Amino acid sequence: MHKRHVTNKHRFIGFVLIGLLVYILSNTVDEWKSFQGATIAVYVVAIASIILLTGYSGQISLGHGALLAIGAYTAALTQIYLHLPVWICFVAAVLITSLFGAILGLAAARLTGPYLAGTTLALAVGLPSIANQFSFLGGEQGISFDAGWPPLSFGEAFTQYKWFFWITSLTALIMMWWIQNLLRSRYGRTWRAVKTNEVAAELSGIRLARSKVLAFTVSAGIAGMAGALLATTINNVSPSAFPLALSFSLATGAILSGVNTLGGVMIGAVALVAIPEIASLVADRWSGSESVPSLLPDFIVSVLLILTVFLAPKGPIEKFRSRHVK
Amino acid sequence: MFELINTLLIGITAGSIYSLMAISVVLVWRSTRVVNFAAGGLALASSFVGAAILEKTGSFWIALPIAMVAGAVFSAFIEYFFLRPLLKRSGDKGAEIFLPIIATLGLLGIIKTILNYIYGDRVGSLPPPMSDKGFVFSGESIALSPMRLLILGIVLLLMISLTLVFQRTNLGLSLRAASFAPEISRLAGIRVDFIRTVGWAISGGVGATAGILQTTNGSGSVSPESFEFSLLLVFGFVAAVIGGIESLIGAVLGGLTLGIILAIILMYVGGSLVFIAAFLILILVLLLRPHGIIGAKGGRRA
Amino acid sequence: MIRTTRRKLLVASAVMAATALSLSVMPAQAISLRAAEVGVTSTEIKLGITLPMKGSASFGYNQLPGAMKAYFDYVNANGGVNGRKISLVVKDDGYLPKQAILNTQDLIAKNKVMAVIGALGTANNKAVASAVNLGRRGIPSLFINTGFSGFNDRKAFPTSSTLLPSYIMEAKMISKYVKETYPGKKTCLLYQDDDFGDDALVGFDKTHGDLDFAVKVAYPSLSQGVAGVPDSWITKFKAGGCEVQIVFGVASATLYTVLAAAKVQYAPKWILGSVGADIPSINPATVPYIIGSTSVSFMPSVVDPKDEYIAQFKEINTKYNVGAKFNSWALIGMNTAFIAVQALKAAGKNPTRKSLLDAIDASGSKFPNAALVPLNYSKTSNVGLNGYWFGTFNKTGDLVPNDTFTYTVYTTDSGTGPVEKSSYSRPAMPAKGLPN
């Protein structure tokens, strides 16, 4: 491989190009595809949050759905009770979820393997159900979160979903830019060191607990943003938006992306959105049974998970890369 | 007073079933260091087998053992064909627990879709084999019935026999050795791979029992999307972690603690807080004892 | 070197994203020559529904779409609606508001249906109405299977209409019934912990039904619920010495409650709310526990031998809904489809979303249908039926008014008005059950 120095400028141009691409896409696709695009952007942020925690800092979370819930509820409550502009709601979502992540991280830093998995799992199951207990959280039907309609100057044909597509994609790009810079910074290197070998990292002067708590805090903040974006696309925040299945599918997305590399994050996000779509196309053609369309997506995702775990445990990108380096 | 007694009885019954599920999780963890989310799916599949046998033969006493065997076979099958190759690839290092977790999640998904495809909206019926009418004390019928006594009996019997197997037999010794020091065990002539499969099989059998008892104790019918099984999976796992994930006694203590506290919260506080309470109990226990009620002291570093 | 690869990854990601998205664009037919209205072509009218089809919350309700489709097929085989065939897209939401939102978005943006009909659930439809912005986008959601009185706000829900009598009405009628039938008895209530239950509480309160409860228990709705562990509810009721037990919940909650009650010989006088009452259709094994219990209905009994609608719908069900039992869910599904066809016919030769809504406002109250109480659609009201009769479950598990099938129907409003005997006389069924 030839060497070429990649500066931040190059990367920035890359991001701008992706942004441009999204812009062009948003002008050509229909309403439905815009909505899917927005969903992909939400998943990108959420999966990045898991990759940062698990792939870079080595901690497991089966409960990221709960963190998304905190972000989503924070955004909605900020809007409903404080009447603040949408972007401040987003910032609030990040801050509050980070705070929560820090507290959780303090506990998590003491826990390993199955204990951490169990704790985060219990959180994912437990947290959303609180909404049924306190009326200001809106109960089962939830509370609304309105990211607003597109400005009238964009014209009548500018659909709400296209507007969501823009908001989520722009936010996702900014988040990803920030995350990839962070991972290249001192903090990112510290996390990797801790993940690779805790004892060695500790000997070389890294404060383990602090590093782990920080990773949890940052990951939670990103998850909070993903939650606020999710609330944006469905206009609503309710317990049912954050079932255990969401946490599981985010973990799935992370594995499909390759949990050790941020670069593959698109793969997992696109897969989570595209698979149900492909499945329903297949099932429609095969219309013998009523139950096939509703079962096929789950089945494909599950099979894909197992295949990934077996064939490309470090993710499709690492797989590709290692084959070429050899 | 009746209210409190009934609450405790409800909690103990539910808790003892969670204990069984927790034991199923613990056995797999002990033998292969895998957090097995497929356990819930296996319990579900075995319960369907149980329901089918019950329908054919009309006897719970034939259905239960066959379901247990089915659970054991399913579980061993999964270990042999999925987890063993996977763990071989990832080099037997305990550190990477994320991949096996994901693999078992994938298996859970596959099991559930298959069951959904076969059974659709149909339900398997597992009515209680004994009267589930509560005993009457001074004119009040309490939440303890012959059926519930039977459940407690089965749980107790399984726990005693498992403890005996682990502490008194060669198989038990090999099971423990294979999980704690696979390399040394191999050198000592223990067939580690085989022993691990046995661990999974026992786990599957115990899980099947948990599934069947959960169904008979609940609605009496089992469906692929059954809520009772989500409860069983989540609370079983949480109970195992509370108990320290290594220990059978710990799993039982964890299950009973969870069952009783949740029953009290359900009765006196409110249904919506049950799940978050489970989280709070867990984190409280882990903050006091990071390796569970009966866990290995001192962190084990990868 | 690592950095180079990283940049390549970025580019690769971008390319992947682009191809994925553009590939997925291609099948979408180029914006075709738009027909007059979304979901309406010269040969077809496409409708959609979202409701629980799988999982424990789906008991009973999952039989609605089959019956609706059966009736549409019957109409299609007899010339359709002005030559157009009606199709129904069914989506499973598992009784989860978030999934209902996504499904409705799917139905509108992907399946491009003209209208949503017969969607189920209070919380779901509230979430959908606000999140999908049906009102602002002018998309009809018709004959929603809920009795939540909050939908009776034409400003907030301009394109939604509900079918069931409001839960306030039902609670008021049950209050009156209990006070007259079981005066002085200790009465207890199980209700769902959301707007469905809150609406009922309003109906039972001092200014409405004025019924006092010895014990009230709220159970969480199913998405996070504890349907598997209802023993504690029963313990509470027993401890409270309840003699009359009202269950105001969905079918699954009702089922679990009755089952748990049998275990501890809790045998009060059961009064089951309309929403969850049709237990026999769920599991015959449970029938013994509820024979003789009281419930309410606005439809004629499905075993009524002399009702013309029942006879006709039964016939259609046998022919077009092969293998499905004709029960109260099938009856409601078929009746909803029957009303929908009349609305589409009334919406003119080339129906639009707007003309459909206008037609219901203008003539919805005159649509003949099987219900024993009138529809109340008008410019100012989007609430459908407004009354109930009381009956008991017989040995075959069917709700009947009495041996002679004579119905005493009560009616009231969602305010503080009195509960009165209804004077409604149902219009005759159009020939062969096909609206003109």
Domains of chain A: 8-325 (1.10.3470)
Amino acid sitting at position A220: A
Using CA coordinates, name the residue in chain C closest to A32: C109
In this predicted model, what pLDDT tens digit does every residue of B78-118 receive, in sequence order? 999 988 888 877 654 444 667 888 889 899 989 988 998 88
Give the C-alpha distances (Å, rounded to integers) separating B179 from B94, B99, B251: 11, 19, 17
DSSP H or E run through A166:
helix A160-184
Of C53, C110, C126, Cβ closest to residue A32 = C110
Cβ atoms of C220 and C95 within 8 Å: the answer is no
Give the position of tokens 């679990």.
C256
pLDDT at residue number C119: 93
Q: Name the residue with tokens 């979408």.
A: C28
**In which band, very low, low, confident or very high, does the pLDDT at C183 lie, cut at 50, 70 and 90?**
very high
The rounded percent of chain B whose pLDDT value lies above 90 is 38
- Cβ–Cβ under 8 Å, residues C297 and C274: yes
Please work out, in degrees rounded to the nearest 5, the angle formed at the alpha carbon of residue B97 by the alpha carbons of A245 and C9. Answer: 75
Could you tell me the pLDDT band of residue C34, with boundaries at 50, 70 and 90?
very low
pLDDT mean over B240-253: 90
C19 touches chain A (CB under 8 A): no
Tell me which residue in B113, B279, B287 faces A302 most closely, judged by beta carbons.
B113
CA angle C265, C269, C272 (to 5 degrees): 105
**Cβ contacts from A onto C, under 8 A:** 153
Nearest by Cα to B128 from B281, B13, B226, B253: B13
pLDDT tens, position by position, A59-92: 888 889 999 999 999 999 999 999 999 899 999 9
Minimum distance, in Å, between the CA of residue B175 and any CA atom of chain A: 20
Alpha-carbon gap: B59 to the closest alpha carbon of chain A (Å):
32
CB neighbours of residue C137 within 10 Å: 12
A30 Cβ partners below 8 Å, 6+ apart? Answer: C25, C28, C31, C109
Task: Give the span between the Cα atoms of C5 and A263, in whole angstroms.
Answer: 10
Does the distance separating the beta carbons of B133 and C264 come in below 8 Å?
A: yes
pLDDT given at position B92: 45
Q: Is the pLDDT of residue C222 over 70?
A: no
CATH of domain C44-165+303-385: 3.40.50.2300
Domain parsing of chain B, residue ranges: 2-288
One of 3.30.460, 2.60.40, 1.10.3470, 1.20.120 is the CATH number of B2-288, namely: 1.10.3470
Q: For testing the chain C interface, which of B6, B9, B214, B269 should be mutated: the one with the most C CBs within 10 Å?
A: B6
Q: Where are the beta strands (DSSP E) in chain B?
A: 124-125, 136-137, 140-141, 221-222
Asked whether the beta carbons of residue B234 and residue A122 sit closer than 8 angstroms, the reply is yes
Is A115 a residue whose pLDDT tops 80? yes
Looking at the whole model, is its pTM more than 0.90? Answer: no
Please determine, for residue C227, whether its predicted confidence score (pLDDT) is greater than 90: no
Region C102-128: mean pLDDT is 90
Cβ–Cβ below 8 Å for C229 and B275: no
pLDDT of B179: 76
Among C221, C232, C283, which would you mutate to test the B interface (most chain B Cβ atoms within 10 Å of its Cβ)?
A: C232
Percent of chain B with pLDDT over 70: 94
Judged against a pLDDT cut of 60, whether residue A130 lies above it is answered with yes
Test C226 with B271 for CB contact under 8 angstroms: yes
Residue A326 vs residues A249, A320, B23, B89, C1: alpha-carbon distances, Å: 32, 10, 45, 19, 14
Average pLDDT over every residue of C429-434: 90
Residue B77 pLDDT grade (very low, low, confident, very high; cuts 50, 70, 90)? very high
Q: Binning pLDDT at 50, 70 and 90, where does residue B300 land? A: very low
**Percent of chain A surpassing pLDDT 70:** 93
Smallest CA-to-CA distance from A312 within B213, C276, B99, B184 is with B99
Are C58 and B142 inside 8 Å of each other by CB? no
Cα-atom radius of gyration of chain A, to the nearest Å? 20
Give the amino acid at C206: K
Average pLDDT over all residues of chain B = 85
The tens digit of pLDDT for each residue in C382-409 reads 889 999 999 988 877 788 898 888 999 9
Across the interface, whether the CB atoms of A252 and B105 are under 8 A apart is answered yes
Q: C194 to chain B: nearest residue by CA?
A: B272
Distance separating alpha carbons of residues C88 and B179, to the nearest angstrom: 56
Q: What is the length of chain A?
A: 326
**pLDDT tens sequence across C139-153:** 999 999 988 888 888
Q: Considering Cα of A273, then A279, then A282, then A286, what sign does the dihedral take?
A: negative
Please report which confidence band the pLDDT of residue C176 belongs to, taking 50, 70 and 90 as the band edges.
very high
Nearest to C13 by CA among A261, A323, A277: A261
CA separation for the pair C68, C335 (Å, rounded): 8
State chain C's mean pLDDT as an integer. Answer: 84
Q: Which of B18, B12, B16, B2 is nearest to B231 (CA)?
A: B18
Enumerate residues 6+ apart whose C-beta is below 8 A from B121: B223, C53, C54, C58, C62
- Band of pLDDT at residue B288, cut at 50, 70 and 90: confident
pLDDT of A105 above 50 = yes
Distance from CA of C353 to the nearest CA of B (A): 34
Alpha-carbon span C1 to C6, nearest angstrom: 9
Touching partners of C (3+ C-beta pairs < 8 Å): A, B
Nearest-by-CA chain C residue for A257: C13
C405 — alpha (psi -120 to 50), left (phi > 0) or beta? Answer: left
Q: B203 pLDDT exceeds 90? A: yes
The per-type count for chain C, helices as H runs and strands as E runs, is 13, 14
Q: What per-residue confidence (pLDDT) applies to C297?
A: 92
Residue C16 confidence (pLDDT): 55
| Cβ pair C118, C48 in contact under 8 A | no
- For residue B25, the model assigns a pLDDT of 94
Å from A242 to nearest chain B CA?
14
Residue C31 pLDDT: 39
Is pLDDT above 70 for C425? Answer: yes
How many other CB atoms are found less than 10 A from the CB of residue C302? 22
Tell me the β-bridge partners of C270.
Answer: C245
Cβ pair A312, B120 in contact under 8 A: no
Gap between the Cα atoms of C237 and C217, Å rounded? 8
pLDDT value at position C187? Answer: 95
- How many angstroms away from the CA of A216 is the closest CA of chain C? 24
* Best residue of A60, A103, A295 to probe chain B, by most B CBs closer than 10 Å: A295
Structure-model confidence comparison of residues A262 and A242, the more confident one: A242
Segment A137-166 mean pLDDT: 80
Residue C231 to residue C227: CA distance in whole angstroms: 10
Query: Subunits with at least 3 CB pairs below 8 A relative to chain B?
Result: A, C
Nearest CA in chain B to A51: B98
Q: How far apart are CA C305 and CA B25, in angstroms?
A: 56
With beta carbons less than 8 A apart as the criterion, state whether C236 and C215 touch.
Answer: yes
Q: Which residues contact residue C37 at a Cβ distance below 8 angstroms, ignoring those fewer than 6 apart? A: C114, C350, C351, C352, C353
- Mean pLDDT (whole number) for B66-73: 96
User: Which residue from B271, C220, B262, C162 is spatially nearest to A139, judged by alpha carbons?
Assistant: C220
Of residues B155 and A259, more confidently modeled: B155
> Helix axis angle, A316-325 relative to A244-257, nearest 10°?
10
Burial A150-183 (b: 16+ CB within 10 A, else e): beeeeeeebbbbbbbbbbbbebbbebbeebbebb
DSSP string covering A15-51:
HHHHHHHHHHHHHHS-HHHHHHHHHHHHHHHHHHHHI
Strand runs labelled E in C306-408: 387-393, 399-400
Question: What average pLDDT does range C206-223 have in this prediction?
Answer: 84
Amino acid at B117: Y
- For residue B48, what are the contacts with CB-CB under 8 A and spacing of at least 6? B115, B118, B119, B124, B222
> Which residues have CB under 8 Å from B56's CB, separation 6+?
none
A167: closest CA of chain C, how far (Å): 17
CB within 8 Å: A294 and C53: yes
Predicted confidence at residue C25, as pLDDT, reads: 44
- pLDDT score of B24: 95
Cβ C7–A11 below 8 Å, yes or no? Answer: yes
Residue whose token pair is 């699954």 = C252
Q: Which residue has the higher pLDDT, B299 or A243?
A: A243
Would you give the DSSP letter of residue A91?
H
> Tell me: the pLDDT tens digits for C44-63?
999 999 998 877 677 778 88
Going by their DSSP bridges, the two strands C115-117 and C399-400 should be labelled as unpaired
Query: Please, which pLDDT band fits residue C30 given cuts at 50, 70 and 90?
Result: very low
pLDDT at A172 over 80: yes
CB C231 within 8 A of CB B10: yes
Binary contact (C285, B6; C-beta < 8 A): no
pLDDT in tens, A269-315: 998 888 888 887 777 776 555 667 677 888 888 898 888 888 877 77
Contact A130 B116 (CB under 8 A): no
Sign (positive or negative) of CA dihedral B214, C120, C146, C181:
negative
Which of A247, A305, A322 should be substituted to probe chain B, the one whose Cβ sees the most B Cβ atoms within 10 Å?
A305
Pick among C21, C54, C250 to test the A interface (most A CBs inside 10 A): C21
ipTM surpasses cut 0.90:
no
Residues of B in contact with A121 (CB under 8 A): 234, 237-238
Residue C81 DSSP label? B
Reported as type and span, the H/E element at residue A106 is helix A86-108
CA atoms of B129 and B146, how far apart (whole Å): 10
